[in-house]
Amino acid sequence: MTFPPDHVPEGGHGEAARLGGVELVNLGFGGGALLDPFTARAMRDTPADLISVKIGINLVNADLMRLRAGTLSFLATGDLTDRTRLTLSVIRDELSRIATERTAEDPNLSYLDGRELYGEADFAELPLPDQLHPDAAAHRRIGERFAARLFRR
C-alpha cells in the first residue's frame, strides 16, 4: 500500500516517513516476510528512492534458512550442535559482513543493526508486551530514531 506523507500508518517506518515528509510504500508481508524470491522481485519492481528491509525474527521463528556450512550432511532426528541455524545475532552478524563487503561496489548500500533503534535499555523501559512486537510507544521511538538516521542530512 502507498501512503502519502500526511497519512502514514502507525509503526516504526510509518513514523519515520511522517517525520521525513516522504511517501511510504509498505509491502505488508508481516509474519510472512521470509525472503522469498518474489519478495526481491516486488522490491525491484517498485519505484523507490530508498528501500528499507527488516530481516530477522520471522526467519528465526520459521527456521527455514541456514548459513551455508560447507559439507552437507543430514540427520533425520536433528543435530543440537548445528551451528548453521539462524538466530537474530547470527543474522545481524552476517548482514553486517555482507553489507560491508558489498558497499565497496554499491556505496548506496548500508546496514543498520536494529538494536540501535530499540535495544536492551529500551526493552527495560518499554518492554515488548508479547515479548515479540513493539507497542505504539516503542514503535514511535523506533521510527524517530530511524528518521533521525535517515534524514540527518
pLDDT digits 0-9 by tens, 31-68: 777 888 888 898 899 998 888 888 877 878 888 888 77
Q: What pLDDT was estimated at residue 79?
A: 64
pLDDT at position 112, please? 93
pLDDT at 3: 67
Q: What is the pLDDT of residue 87?
A: 84
Determine phi and psi for 90, rounding to 5 degrees.
-60, -45
Task: Identify the CA nearest to 26 among candidates 38, 12, 36.
Answer: 12
Whole-prediction pTM: 0.76
All residue ranges of the chain with pLDDT < 50 are none
pLDDT for the residue 75: 54
